[in-house]
């Protein structure tokens, strides 16, 4: 069976399920006995169709449409779990699966962030005079002599205040990366490229001035996790933009709404990691610890995050049920 014949045969059943879900509005008791039974039949049919579509038409928009439809129907048919249970499940499983589902967008987001960083870094190292004019004045101090391992001599209250400011800024950047998807993903792409250019230029200036070790001491502890979070938020924004460009079988508004719920869930799930990155920057960066310790902290945090992506995201995909966002259970 080709995809056109499949759609022609099964679309009326899906449309009936859509109508039943719209009538129920998360409360199946509103449907009455006859339509509740019909809801169960149509849900089982859609779940079977999803299995067929995944096997026969991988990558076709039909698969994404059916995934969304089955997700929505599941919570009406089986009723939503308690909020406490849904939050625990989201933290331990569904957040990581949402990240894994966006693998192509993750690769694109990482390319938009790190490719400009490497290119601008090479340019700044070879032409520091012009590159210095590109970065804000606050960053030009990277070219000034500074001994590695130096302590910034901040008190604990000062570190706490700086940490709070840092993770607030990180959360703002994450939200901007997500919100930029509303501009067909162009806003997200621009944010990723601009952050990559700034990071690479500052790194190139520091290395060119002989401050490469100092730069890594000041950046790596929090930077690996922070850049990971920005990449994930960027992937969510890019997918949000693509849902408008290529809505599949849905209308553009329906496609945008479905993807927005999942993208918001990704942003919410990423926030605790951004807070951790901010705490690390506030209390570890500039504290005078050795480069080895800085690398251990930074790479350890990054490894912990991506290990969870692989373990809880890829590892649970084959056995767990449909992915849901927190918005689906409220």
DSSP secondary structure string for all residues of 106-128:
HHHHHHHHHHHHHHHHHHHHH-H
Q: Give the model's pLDDT for residue 29.
A: 76
Q: Give the model's pLDDT for residue 325.
A: 54
The residues, ordered by sequence, that sit 6+ positions from 170 with a Cβ below 8 Å of its Cβ are 226, 229, 230, 274, 277, 278
pTM of the model: 0.74
Most confident residue range from 14-18, 46-50, 116-120: 116-120
Q: Give the model's pLDDT for residue 225.
A: 94
Q: Give the model's pLDDT for residue 125.
A: 93
Burial label for 173, CB within 10 Å (0-12, 13-18, 19+), is middle
pLDDT tens digit string along 97-139? 999 989 999 999 999 999 999 999 999 999 988 888 888 776 7
Q: Are 240 and 259 spatial neighbours (Cβ–Cβ below 8 Å)?
A: yes
Q: Give the model's pLDDT for residue 254.
A: 82
**140-144-147 Cα angle (round to 5):** 130
- Mean pLDDT confidence for 44-55: 90
Structure tokens given for 2: 């080709």
pLDDT tens digit string along 50-70? 889 888 888 788 888 888 888
Q: Are 196 and 120 spatial neighbours (Cβ–Cβ below 8 Å)?
A: yes
The residues, ordered by sequence, that sit 6+ positions from 94 with a Cβ below 8 Å of its Cβ are 265, 323, 324, 325
Q: Are 196 and 135 spatial neighbours (Cβ–Cβ below 8 Å)?
A: no
Interatomic CA distance for residues 229 and 144, integer angstroms: 30
Q: Give the model's pLDDT for residue 197.
A: 93
pLDDT tens digit string along 260-275? 888 999 999 998 998 8
Given a cut of 50, is residue 240 above it in pLDDT?
A: yes
Burial label for 233, CB within 10 Å (0-12, 13-18, 19+), is buried
The residues, ordered by sequence, that sit 6+ positions from 86 with a Cβ below 8 Å of its Cβ are 80, 324, 326, 329
Given a cut of 50, is residue 162 above it in pLDDT?
A: no
DSSP secondary structure string for all residues of 165-223:
HHHHHHHHHHHHHHHGGGGTTHHHHHHHHHHHHHHHHHHHHHHHTT-HHHHHHHHHHHH
Q: Give the model's pLDDT for residue 330.
A: 40
318: which DSSP letter? T
- Mean pLDDT confidence for 80-103: 78
Interatomic CA distance for residues 78 and 59, integer angstroms: 28
Interatomic CA distance for residues 215 and 213, integer angstroms: 5
Structure tokens given for 69: 């439809």
Q: Are 201 and 134 spatial neighbours (Cβ–Cβ below 8 Å)?
A: yes
What is the Cα Rg of the chain in Å? 24
């Amino acid at each position: 069976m080709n995809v056109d014949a499949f759609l022609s045969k099964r679309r009326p059943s899906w449309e009936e399920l859509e109508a039943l879900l719209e009538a129920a509005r998360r409360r199946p008791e509103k449907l009455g006995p006859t339509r509740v039974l019909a809801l169960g039949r149509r849900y089982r049919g859609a779940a079977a169709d999803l299995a067929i579509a995944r096997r026969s038409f991988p990558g076709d928009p039909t698969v994404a449409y059916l995934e969304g439809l089955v997700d929505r129907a599941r919570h009406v048919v089986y009723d939503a779990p308690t909020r406490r249970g849904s939050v625990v499940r989201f933290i331990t499983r569904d957040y990581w699966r949402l990240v894994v589902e966006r693998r192509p967008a993750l690769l694109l987001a990482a390319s938009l962030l790190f490719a400009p960083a490497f290119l601008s870094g090479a340019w700044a190292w070879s032409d520091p005079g012009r590159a210095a004019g590109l970065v804000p004045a606050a960053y030009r101090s990277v070219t000034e002599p500074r001994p590695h391992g130096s302590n910034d001599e901040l008190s604990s209250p000062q570190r706490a205040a700086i940490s709070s400011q840092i993770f607030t800024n990180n959360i703002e950047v994450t939200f901007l990366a997500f919100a930029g998807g509303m501009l067909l993903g162009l806003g997200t792409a621009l944010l990723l490229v601009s952050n990559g250019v700034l990071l690479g230029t500052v790194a190139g200036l520091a290395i060119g001035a002989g401050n490469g070790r100092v730069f890594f001491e000041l950046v790596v502890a929090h930077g690996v996790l922070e850049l990971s979070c920005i990449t994930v938020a960027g992937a969510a924004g890019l997918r949000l933009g693509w849902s408008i460009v290529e809505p599949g079988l849905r209308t553009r508004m329906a496609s945008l709404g479905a993807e927005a719920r999942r993208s918001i869930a990704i942003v919410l799930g990423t926030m605790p990691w951004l807070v951790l990155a901010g705490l690390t920057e506030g209390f570890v960066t500039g504290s005078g610890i050795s480069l080895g310790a800085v690398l251990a902290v930074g790479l350890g945090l990054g490894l912990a995050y991506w290990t969870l992506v692989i373990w809880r995201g890829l590892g649970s995909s084959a056995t767990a049920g449909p992915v849901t966002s927190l918005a689906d259970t409220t």
